[in-house]
Amino acid sequence: MSTATLEKRGFGATLWDYLTTVDHKKIAILYLLGGAFFFLLGGLEAMLIRLQLMVPDNELIGAQFYNEVMTMHGTTMIFLAAMPLIFAFMNAVVPLQIGARDVAFPFLNSLGFWLFLFGGVLLNCSWFLGGAPDAGWTGYAPLSIWSPTHGVDFYAVGLQISGFGTLMGGINFIVTIVNMRAPGMTYMRMPLFTWTAFVASILILFAFPALTIGLFLMTFDRLFGANFFVPDMGGNEIIWEHIFWIFGHPEVYILVLPAFGIFSEIISTFSKKRLFGYSSMVFATVLIAFLGFMVWAHHMFTVGMGPIANSIFAIATMAIAVPTGIKIFNWLLTMWGGNIRMTTPMLWAAGFIPTFTIGGMTGVMVAVAAADFQYHDTYFVVAHFHYVIVGGVVFGLIAATHYWWPIMFGKVLDEKLGKWTFWTFFIGFHLTFFIQHFLGLIGMPRRYWKFLPGQDLETGNFISTIGALLMAVGTIILLYNVIKTTVKGEMCSQDPWDGRTLEWSIPNPTPHYNFKQLPLVRGLDPVWIEKTQGNGKVIPAEPVNDIHMPNNSFLPFMISLGLFIAGFGFIYRPDTSFGYVLIAIGLIITFGSMLIRSLKDDTGHHIHKEDLEKEGAGVE
Amino acid sequence: MKGWMDKFKALFLVSGIALILSGCGNPYLSALQPKGEGADMILDLMILSIVIMIFVFLIVMAIYTYVLVRFRQKKGNEDYVPKQVEGNHMLETLWTVIPIILLLILAVPTVQYTFALSDTTPETTEGEDGENAEEAIWIDVTGKQFWWNFDYRGMDIQTSQDLYIPTDRRVYLTLSSGDVIHSFWVPAVSGKMDVNPGKNENEMFLNATEEGVFWGHCAEFCGPSHSLMDFRVVAVSPGEFDQWVEEMQNVDPDAQPESDVAQEGKELFAENSCLNCHAIGSSPAMMGPNVTNFGDRSKIAGILDYNKENLVSWILNPDKHKPGNLMSGNYTVPSREDANKIAEYLMTLSPSEIGPDDAQDDDYLQPKKKEESNNEETENKEDETAEEESKDEE
Amino acid sequence: MSTHEDVLSSENLPHEPEKATLEGKNKFLGFWFFLGGETVLFASLFGTYLALRNSFGNAEGTPTQELFGLELVFIMTVILLTSSLTSVYAMYHMKNHDFKKMMVWLAITVILGASFLGLEVYEFNHYVHEYGHTFTSHAFGSAFYALVGFHGAHVAFGLCWILALMFRNAKRGLNLYNAPKFYIASLYWHFIDVVWVFIFTVVYLMGKVG
């Protein structure tokens, strides 16, 4: 088991390997598969929404089903698609970029993935068990508290489980980046993707516990008779909004900061230039994260907080435009004077800049508290956050898919198909969402199951639906590209893009232990430095020695499975006493597995010096 | 405060973009074609922010286009290695400071307007447009799944779905919900405000500057028929409003309709306990929409065209039109024949001559008081004596 | 360099055995960050509690001034603070590689923690039966039991954790593999102690005063 070659092994063995793996590279692949699956599911839901709104007074799907689809589209895309896909690339790339052999907590890393997966699966089980959640992805009380089906219970429990996973992932990456950087990899030499992953992890750490509490309170209200959000019993529904957005706003930055990091890497690589204003980029990232915690109430301007609170939050929100602007100009100036190669990842980066600028500008517009009385809860806001989340995060994730595919799978995705993906998706995107700004301004609130004729909303909605179909075509081309490359593609060289950071110094396929000898980092963009100033190879910081690696474990799967079963128990406990049985079984599995983990001495294994020398590969 | 904005707007109108903005949408719905004080102020802010943003966007796009065209890899130039620039303090300071200045320009009116729009203290000056605090019209708005109730405070008037207001003066609203959170939005007249259950009551004002039947939406997701929780704001001239108030106050809930069918309908309405939920007059039943002036409704249930066929269809199966409404399943469904009679009766309920049509004609009636007194001096005296009299009565 | 066997040996321990290995350092740092997250968790609960304190709606309930008695809570506070001190002693002996004394002090910590928990159960029982103050009776009840109960659950989890560590390592003795485990368990114990100080102030003292 000292090499990463998995070929010619039986399906069962491979499956078992992935079920028990603690290797960050394999967990990355798991996250990618899981995230992609939910992304397609969320996309399907989006198509249903757009088809329903294609013509006025449409009866394609019913009101209740529409609300479920709309709720699940938001929830799935944010929690089950964007988050895991971000984690996929953080797992695949961050340890390689900082010159580490693994993450700080490989066991927790695996546990984080399985918790996310089981949480997501639990949430989606609701489709087959009486109806999905129907209170919007924001789950505002008391609508969510009084929703008659079990849907919202699945929302609360499912997100709770996957939220634990995310929190663990966050802590894991913070510690990995603080403690496990290679010699010479100072903070100010870290690639920007690592920086943004670091800052996003800190945001996860401080934002997700608020969601945990919010979901607990919701669960208590719905399943255990508590009264947090029940007005008649002294509860206050606004508390939910505050708690949700104290989590929810940083969540936006958790998603978009790593996307910024991805684009920083791509723009720098394909312009053949060092990132312009690296320090100010780092500074801007940290500042965005810091301000991101002080602006949650700009989602609540119409709640009735009063003009003083509204003004404060308005100005704090506007302030975020400054560091974001710094980033945009730094990217432009990185390209300035460069030698720009228009590969597929770069194309996405080029598409990102104007798109995200529009999203940022409408962001400042909605920050104007008084004007938000008109924008709020309309399609203007829908357009705004899709420009930010799709134009920023999804563009970034697709770009990263193309850019780091060689790192993850050893092959380059087909460039021609990649460009087709870009143009269909890009045009489709703007067709879908640009018009929605105007739909909002001329009076279309969001989350409308149908719009009635006679409001002059027909044209805009029709155009929007056509655009959405085009985006679907783009996604299908990408899927085809992935399948085609996997089946027919050839293994590429270790550095197909002429990269600048450490992940491109590792042989293809990446060995199980990443680095035979830990690298010595001599500056920002270490591989580029060695290419231009050295002999092209990264200098090792240590002699070849035994390498300590963690052991695989099936326990993360079991712990998550236990919570999954207990989750069903909690949801059905008010209906049937069988719920208690499920809770008991689930918790026994979970805590039993944790106990086994705690009682066993598991100190990992060593790859011996002799074996490493036999293989011969690696930095030398 | 508004002076410089107006000039700015005038300047901007020349450039034509505001014209494009106002070109689209329904004139009684679009926030871009304001017909009220709030919407007007907000459009000013929108235009200011759009101008700043377009300015920034053009700069970004200019650099962007130049960079992509100029520095794209040329054939035969694949091995060119550009200079590795670390940064430029001058430039970086520049693009930090300029956005800060632009945002400050935007922040000042933002704060001003945020305060102005949430000021619901009735004006006490007796200027031309002002009114006495005591005479301020307060309407208690209640949102329920999926309809609206309007209770004119101290006036013994209740309506549902259609909110009658006078033009050219502020009308103050208190907003609260009977169930989940809703949001009250009349885009053409003013911005929205959430309608919360429990203690979190909100206040806002409406000031329509033109007559019209304005489209109102619920803007906070509130359940299956969220998209169908429409209402109308019927803005009539002050004189017409005064007339409406007077006639609504004198409504006789027991008045006998003229036609036989409608009379039968009235009896059926009572027999089927419709009255338990649907009040006629100002009694605060509030379980279902008040039907005092149902004959003048601009729409049925806020969404269907106003005709008997639709009304009968609603009575027979409300869930078909508004899924998840609380009427379905909570009443005895009458036969089609009976429903016809009830509909006939409901459509005769028109205590006031003022209806949606009056908001769409050209008549503009001044408020009574001002009409009566052409001589200002006598008016003042009369007012004073009137006040004294009322005190005496107390 | 440390090999497989070294980590599990009780011989030749360095001065700070909890931070001697990379795994130990990672655990140490990761746990500090985890406590940062826990702070937000409790902050959210405190916020909710403050918003819903004495909020009864249409239900009947006893306001904080009448409900709380400070005597019992004061004793509980003293007990928990003492247990924090005893866990410091335990860690002191760990650093001096005195496994037995560490176990003794940990045992005292556990006993104190358990008595705290016992008193808390008694307290809750008292509220429920004397005042009808329950989790479901009104928003104040929900918020009170959520905050204080969450803390109680943390205490209970901490007890199980420390006990599991003690049983597991009774025969193994102290080594580089389990020293970090003991250390972060004591960190956790301090944390729930600090949270209790805030609960004592915000819930009980402020509740009594007004």
pLDDT digits 0-9 by tens, B33-48? 999 999 999 999 999 9
* In the predicted structure, residue A216 carries a pLDDT above the cut 90: yes
C137/chain A closest Cα distance in angstroms: 8
**Closest CB to A314 among B67, B96, B114:** B114
pLDDT tens digits, one per residue of B60-83: 999 999 999 999 998 888 888 899
Own/partner pairs for B285-290, CB < 8 Å, 24+ apart? Answer: B286/B142, B286/B144, B286/B149, B286/B178, B288/B147, B288/B326, B288/B327, B289/B147, B289/B149, B289/B160, B289/B161, B290/B149, B290/B158, B290/B159, B290/B160
- Is B365's pLDDT higher than 90? no
Report the 10 Å Cβ neighbour count for B305. Answer: 11
Determine the residue among C33, C165, C174 to mutate to test chain A binding: the one whose Cβ has the most chain A Cβ atoms within 10 Å: C33
- Number of A:B CB contacts under 8 A? 296
Note which residues in 240-259 of chain A have CB less than 8 A from chain B. Answer: none
- Which of C7, C39, C48 has the most A C-beta neighbours within 10 Å, making it the best mutation to test the interface with A? C48
Chain C: give the shortest CA distance to residue A296, in Å: 14
**pLDDT exceeds 80 at position B17:** no
Query: In this complex, is the C-beta atom of A129 within 8 Å of any C-beta atom belonging to chain B?
Result: no
Residue-wise pLDDT tens digits, A427-465: 999 999 999 999 999 999 999 999 999 899 999 999 999
Range A505-508, long-range pairs (CB < 8 A, 24+ positions): A505/A530, A505/A537, A505/A538, A505/A619, A506/A96, A507/A617, A507/A618, A508/A406, A508/A410
Average the pLDDT over A493-517 and give the result: 92
Question: pLDDT class for B20, splitting at 50, 70, 90?
Answer: low
CB contact under 8 A, A234 and C138: yes
Which chain A positions have a beta carbon within 8 Å of B61's beta carbon? Answer: 354, 357
* Chain A closest-CA separation from residue C117 CA (Å): 21
Q: What's the pLDDT at C172?
A: 87
Instruction: Give yes or no for residue A157 having a pLDDT over 60.
Output: yes
Res A67: pLDDT: 96
Q: What is the pLDDT of residue B223?
A: 94
pLDDT of residue A304: 92
pTM for the predicted model, two decimal places:
0.93
- pLDDT bucket at A6, cuts 50 / 70 / 90: very low
Nearest to C57 among A105, A220, A231 (CB): A231
Same fold, B133-241 and B260-348: yes
In degrees to the nearest 10, what's the CA dihedral of B82, B87, B88, B89? Answer: -170
* Alpha-helical runs (H) found in chain C: 4-8, 22-52, 64-67, 70-95, 99-126, 139-169, 179-199, 206-209
Does residue C77 fall inside a structural domain? Answer: yes
pLDDT band at B373 (very low <50, low <70, confident <90, very high): very low
Say whether C164 and A212 touch across the interface (CB within 8 A): no
* The pLDDT of residue A618: 44
CB contact (8 A) between residue A236 and residue C29: no
Tell whether B124 is within 8 A of chain A (Cβ).
no
> How many C-beta atoms surround the C-beta of residue A398 within 10 A?
26
* Residue B55: pLDDT over 80: yes
Q: Which of B53, B116, B198 is closest, CB to CB, to A365?
A: B53
Helix, strand, coil in percent for chain A, rounding step 5: 70, 0, 30
User: Helix (H, G, I), strand (E, B), or coil: what is residue C134?
Assistant: coil
Contact B117 A353 (CB under 8 A): no
CB contact under 8 A, B113 and A272: no
User: How many folded domains does chain A comprise?
Assistant: 1
Beta bridge partners of A548: A606
H helix runs in A99-236, sequence order: 106-125, 143-146, 151-179, 192-223
pLDDT (tens digit per residue) in C74-121: 999 999 999 999 999 999 999 988 999 999 999 999 999 999 999 999
pLDDT at B377: 44
What is the token pair recorded at A377? 């809860």
Q: Indicate which CATH number applies to the domain containing C201.
A: 1.20.120.80
User: What residues does each domain of chain B span?
Assistant: 3-73+86-117, 133-241, 260-348
pLDDT for the residue B319: 93
Task: Give the CA radius of gyration of chain B.
Answer: 27
How does pLDDT run across C12-34, given as a tens digit for each residue?
788 888 888 888 899 999 999 99
The pair phi, psi for residue B334, each rounded to 5°, is -75, 165
Alpha carbons A345 and A415: distance in angstroms, whole number: 9
CA–CA dist A161, A132 (Å, integer): 17
Instruction: Give the pLDDT score at A564.
Output: 97
Inter-chain touch B96–A322, beta carbons under 8 Å: yes
Tell me which residue of C168, A498, A271, A401 sits closest to B68, measured CA to CA. A271
Mind listing the pLDDT tens digit for each residue in A62-114?
Answer: 999 999 999 999 999 999 999 999 999 999 999 999 999 999 999 999 999 99
pLDDT, residue B325, reads 92
Residue B193, SS3 per DSSP: strand
For residue C91 the two structure tokens come to: 């860690």
Task: Give the span between the Cα atoms of A612 and A620, in whole angstroms.
Answer: 12
Structure tokens at A485: 């490359």
CA A305 to chain B, closest CA, distance in angstroms equals 9
Mean pLDDT of all residues in B219-227: 95
* Closest Cβ opposite residue B221 in set A136, A339, A454: A136
Q: What is the CATH number of the domain that holds A138?
A: 1.20.210.10
| Domains contained in chain C, number | 1
Q: Are B239 and B353 in contact (CB under 8 A)?
A: no
Cα Rg of chain C (Å, integer): 20
Token readout for C75 is 């004793």
**Are β-strands B137-144 and B171-177 bridged in parallel, bridged antiparallel, or unpaired?**
parallel
Q: Parallel, antiparallel, or unpaired for β A547-549 and B182-185? A: unpaired
Residue of C77, C72, C103, C79 lying closest to C90 (CA atoms)? C103
ipTM: 0.94
The Cα–Cα gap between A442 and B19 comes to 14
For the cut 80, the answer to whether the pLDDT of residue B393 exceeds it is no
Of the CA atoms within 13 Å of residue B362, those in its CB half-sphere come to 0
Strands B193-195 and B147-152: unpaired
| B81 to chain A: closest CA residue | A272
Integer Cα distance of B272 and B251 in angstroms? 22
Superfamily of domain covering B260-348 = Cupredoxins -  blue copper proteins (2.60.40.420)
Residue C18 neighbours by CB under 8 Å, 6+ apart: C24, C28, C94, C179, C180, C182, C183, C184
Confidence of residue A186 (pLDDT cuts 50, 70, 90): very high
Out of B82, B180, B223, the one facing A338 most closely (by C-beta) is B82
Domain spanning B133-241, CATH class: mainly beta
Residues of chain A found within 8 Å of residue B303, distances taken between Cβ atoms: 452
Q: How many Å lie between the alpha carbon of A172 and the closest alpha carbon of chain C?
A: 7
* Chain A residues with CB-CB distance to C156 below 8 A: none
* DSSP 3-state of C62: coil
Query: DSSP string covering A548-596, please?
Result: EEPPP-SHHHHHHHHHHHHHHHHHHTTT-THHHHHHHHHHHHHHHHHHH
Domain of residue A608, residue span:
11-553+602-615
Q: What is the pLDDT of residues B245-256, one digit of tens each?
A: 999 998 888 888
C135 at A interface, C-beta within 8 A: yes
Q: What is the mean pLDDT of residues A29-40?
A: 97
Instruction: Give the pLDDT mean for B87-107.
Output: 93
Chains touching A, CB cut-off 8 Å, 3+ pairs: B, C
Give the pLDDT confidence score for residue B376 in this predicted structure.
45
- Give the pLDDT band of residue C36 (cuts 50, 70, 90): very high
Query: Is-contact B148 B299, C-beta < 8 A?
Result: no
**Residues of chain A with C-beta less than 8 angstroms from the C-beta of C29:** 174-175, 178-179
Selected for mutation to probe chain B from A373, A378, A382, A532 (highest B CB count within 10 Å) is A373
* Residue A4 confidence class, pLDDT cut points 50, 70, 90: very low
Q: Which chains contact B through at least 3 pairs of Cβ atoms less than 8 Å apart? A: A
Predicted local distance difference test score (pLDDT) of residue A221: 95
Contact call for B26 and A377, based on CB within 8 A? no
Is A601 within 8 Å of C56 when comparing Cβ atoms? no
pLDDT at A611: 82
In a domain, C5, yes or no: no
Q: Classify B195 as helix, strand or coil.
A: strand
Residue B285, pLDDT > 90, answer no
Residue C87 corresponds to which tokens in the numbers above? Answer: 């866990």
Average pLDDT along chain A: 93
Q: Taking CA atoms, what residue in C is nearest to A224?
A: C136
Q: Is A455 on the interface with B (CB under 8 A)?
A: yes
3-state secondary structure of A399: helix
Chain C hits for A213, Cβ within 8 Å: 41, 44-45, 48
Residue B36 has a pLDDT of: 94
Tell me the pairing of strands B162-166 and B193-195: unpaired
Pairwise CB contact (< 8 Å): C30 & A105: yes
Q: List all residues of chain A from 528 to 547 with a beta carbon under 8 Å from chain B.
A: 532
Residue C12 domain flag: no
Return the pLDDT at A351. 96
- B140, containing H or E segment: strand B137-144
Chain A from 335 to 364: CB within 8 A of any B CB: 335-342, 350, 353-354, 357-358, 361-362, 364
Q: Which CATH number fits domain B3-73+86-117: 1.10.287, 3.30.43, 2.40.50, 1.10.3470?
A: 1.10.287
Contact state of C142 with A216 under an 8 Å Cβ cutoff: no
Residues B286 and B160: their CA atoms lie apart, in Å, by: 9
Judged by DSSP in three states, B169 sits in coil
The range of the structural domain enclosing residue C115 comes to 17-53+60-209
**DSSP label at B367?**
P
What confidence category does residue B388 fall into, taking pLDDT thresholds of 50, 70 and 90?
Answer: very low
